């Protein structure tokens, strides 16, 4: 079986045993793991974002760390500090929670701008610099950040440079009636977090999974289609800042992985349309008149997909 297909199915099986009704979200996480991209989960509190992140780390047999975003959170609380060791009689680096395979930054937009920016180097360079010394992060380092809707009190909007470093943004909504009934039946009398430890994938070679992506062909016409989408976003009347080149690369990479996960050997425009709502909306900076007219990033993304000619 295709390594990409196998990986997604196994992740769906393992995470689906803990979190219910989140199949599209699990697929987005699978794409991020393969692409080594970071994920922004947006939604109201209490929808299972922490449980999902903890389950992902457990399934991948990785180290899970969690940081709670607050207004007084400092950069050193994430990256770590040099502390004096009396026995060694020297300063020793004490790693912060960023040194993990899966780092959950809960309510990232409640942290101040200085602390938010401390994650930029870690997310882009996969290293942190403390007192002029560089410390590499784990090979499979993945940030899963949760964000409250912007209208919540006490939130600091993430700057465009940081939003662009999140490969995907997944908008979580309330579960359906059937899923919520299943959640009550399963966890009504037990703690959901207590079931995470038992859910682990058998050892899996992520290197082989990532190499399988190279076998998925991207036609020049499809690359042109993605560039046309980006150009349309940059000239849209309601957009003041469109899709960046980093966003173009993320869209191609995500579409390529999505195609591989359905067992295809080449990427189609439908693959691009499938992942576009995950890659494009959070990278668009809306013009003031768009906010006044109630136009959303999701609406504009759908307009871009509807208006941009699809290659044959």
Length of the chain: 312
Instruction: Report the pLDDT value the prediction gives residue 309, as an integer from 0 to 100.
Output: 92
Tens of pLDDT, residues 244-301: 999 999 999 999 999 999 999 999 999 999 999 999 999 999 888 887 888 889 999 9
pLDDT tens digits along 48-73: 888 888 888 888 888 889 998 888 88
Nearest C-alpha neighbor of 2 from the set 270, 213, 254: 213
- 190-203 burial code (b ≥16 CB/10 A, e <16): eebeebbeebeeee
**DSSP 8-state class, residue 95:** E
Domains of the chain: 3-190 (3.40.50.300), 216-307 (1.10.8.80)
Strand partners, 95: 80
Share of the chain above pLDDT 90, in %: 38
Please tell me the pTM assigned to this model. Answer: 0.89
Q: At what angle do helices 269-279 and 245-261 cross, to 10 degrees?
A: 120
């Amino acid at each position: 079986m295709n390594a990409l297909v196998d990986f997604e199915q196994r992740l769906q099986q393992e995470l689906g045993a803990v979190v219910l009704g989140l199949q599209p979200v699990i697929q987005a996480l699978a794409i991020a793991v393969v692409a080594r991209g970071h994920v922004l989960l947006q939604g109201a509190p209490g929808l299972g974002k922490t449980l999902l992140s903890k389950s992902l780390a457990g399934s991948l047999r990785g180290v899970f760390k969690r940081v709670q975003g607050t207004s007084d959170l400092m950069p050193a609380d994430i990256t770590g500090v040099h502390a004096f060791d009396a026995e060694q009689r020297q300063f020793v680096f004490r790693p912060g929670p960023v040194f993990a395979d899966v780092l959950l930054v809960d309510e990232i937009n409640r942290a101040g701008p200085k602390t938010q920016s401390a994650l930029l180097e870690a997310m882009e360079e996969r290293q942190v610099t403390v007192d002029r010394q560089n410390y590499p992060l784990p090979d499979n380092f993945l940030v899963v950040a949760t964000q409250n809707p912007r209208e919540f009190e006490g939130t600091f909007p993430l700057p465009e440079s940081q939003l662009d470093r999140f490969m995907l943004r997944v908008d979580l909504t309330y579960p359906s009636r059937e899923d919520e009934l299943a959640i009550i039946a399963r966890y009504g009398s037990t703690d959901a977090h207590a079931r995470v430890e038992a859910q682990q994938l058998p050892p899996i070679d992520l290197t082989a999974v990532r190499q399988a992506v190279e076998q998925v062909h991207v036609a020049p016409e499809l690359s042109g289609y993605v560039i046309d989408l980006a150009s349309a976003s940059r000239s849209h009347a309601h957009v003041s800042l469109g899709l960046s080149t980093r966003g173009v690369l993320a869209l191609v990479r995500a579409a390529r992985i999505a195609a591989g996960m359905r067992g295809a050997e080449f990427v189609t425009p439908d693959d691009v349309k499938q992942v576009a709502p995950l890659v494009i909306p959070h990278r668009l900076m809306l013009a003031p008149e768009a906010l006044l007219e109630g136009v959303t990033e999701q609406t504009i993304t759908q307009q871009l997909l509807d208006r941009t000619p699809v290659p044959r």
